[in-house]
Structure 1
């Protein structure tokens, strides 16, 4: 083992800080806030990210801790992926029984590429947009980008920015939108329950919590479908991103960049001639 690798485990400041954050956030537990027809569910993971970011701007966390924490993300994500595998394996029969509708909904995530990628490039982002828009950017997608490009790459920075943004705001957004849409649209509440499983536990909990609050008589069905959907999204979402989402984003990126640069050159030429 190299000296650099060995030094990761000889950083008591980092490990004690992480332990303190975990104990503190687990002690706080989950909080649910009702807002009209929606429910916002705040989970310990959200507190941990906010508190960790806060410590980064204090003397407690120095450059050594931030560099070591960056490297240890690989280990944390590997353990999380192993946990997903253990969870999915015993539930394979449940996945089969829920039918093709839950499988087809995973393809809906690909539609966001056609919207998000052009917007990201129009805002001036470069290859960061590939990591940001190829998926919903949850743990399996972070692992995919880390393995293919590395965490310090533009793609790695892009996927991590959306991962953090989604953790902070995703649960709030889904908690509100599920309650609102299920109340004002003719779609059945169980369709929104199926849509709650985007591959994020916090987002699923917030969305299904709003639906249960609005339709308490369907609580068991909502929770069952949301859980199965989330399990399926976690299980096959990585393969959809690997085989379709990421290659599609890579193909579209140079095309959109050329279109943007071509339009910019046309505007410059028009200004000169004008």
Structure 2
């Protein structure tokens, strides 16, 4: 009962978002699918103290602690989609597992850009992954969320939440329009560890291939679950070490000193 105000706000946001519904928009050769989750996110921002002040700091802190519970329910729903198409998913298991190496592309692209833009240790948190919930937990455990690395991972997490669904929805529809890749492969590629991004991408694919709706949802959900599992180990064993190594190399190229030497010089 102590969260009754929070639950009432969330229920109202869900009802309004569902009433607005799903709206596909043509965008060049691609298509953006505006999903109810996007409306709920934007409406939720409007309830904060900076705007309508319907929810205060207490409600925001309580809501953040309940994210894990809601994700459990969402993943249970995805599990019901995976079951009926399990034979096809098992046949594609090697591809589902090997796709995790694609996450290292985030490191190779993100670190040089982040250092060039002037980020320091924030680069490690921001560029080691796409910064979803497991990665936020990893950085929080290793460095603390009040550290530079923590600020980096939270910055990307928030940006991904706001813009990720739009970007993934557009990217999936453009890829399906111009690339000779099977829709199943695109659905698998959409499972990067973010339920919202995966749902947006699969939603765009389903709008283009309605006869494959169940299979696309199943491949996307299975890929997303695997990304949440082995993707975390990929970050621990390869992503973070590679990020720190590249950060030192590009930091020296830009500033002429290694990060540790630069830090010692500032302290002196």
**Do both proteins adopt the same fold according to a TM-score greater than 0.5, normalized to the shorter chain?**
yes
Deviation at 1:242, TM superposition (A): 1.6
Write the distance in 2 (CA, Å) between the matches of 1:51 and 1:150. Answer: 27
1:44 aligns with 2:37: yes
Write the distance in 2 (CA, Å) between the matches of 1:227 and 1:259. Answer: 41
**Which 5+ residue runs of structure 1 have no aligned equivalent?**
1-8, 264-274
TM score, norm. by length of structure 2:
0.78
Contact 2:25–2:34 at 8 Å: present in 1 too? no
Match of 1:56 among 45, 49, 55: 49
Match of 2:23 among 21, 28, 33: 33
CA RMSD of aligned residues (A): 3.3
Q: Deviations over 1:104-133 (max 9, x none)?
A: 111101112111111011001111121111
Contact 2:41–2:162 at 8 Å: present in 1 too? no
Structure 1 residues 237 and 87, CA gap change in structure 2 (3 angstroms): farther
Q: Which moved more, 1:202-211 or 1:215-224?
A: 215-224
Q: How many residues align?
A: 248
Match of 1:223 among 217, 226, 235: 217
Write the distance in 1 (CA, Å) between the matches of 2:174 and 2:108. Answer: 25
Match of 1:139 among 127, 133, 144: 133
1:18 aligns with 2:6: yes
Contact 2:13–2:43 at 8 Å: present in 1 too? no
Deviation at 1:61, TM superposition (A): 8.2
Q: Secondary structure at 1:124's aligned position in 2?
A: coil
Greater C-alpha Rg: 1
Q: Which moved more, 1:115-124 or 1:88-97?
A: 88-97
Contact 1:178–1:210 at 8 Å: present in 2 too? yes
TM score, norm. by length of structure 1:
0.76
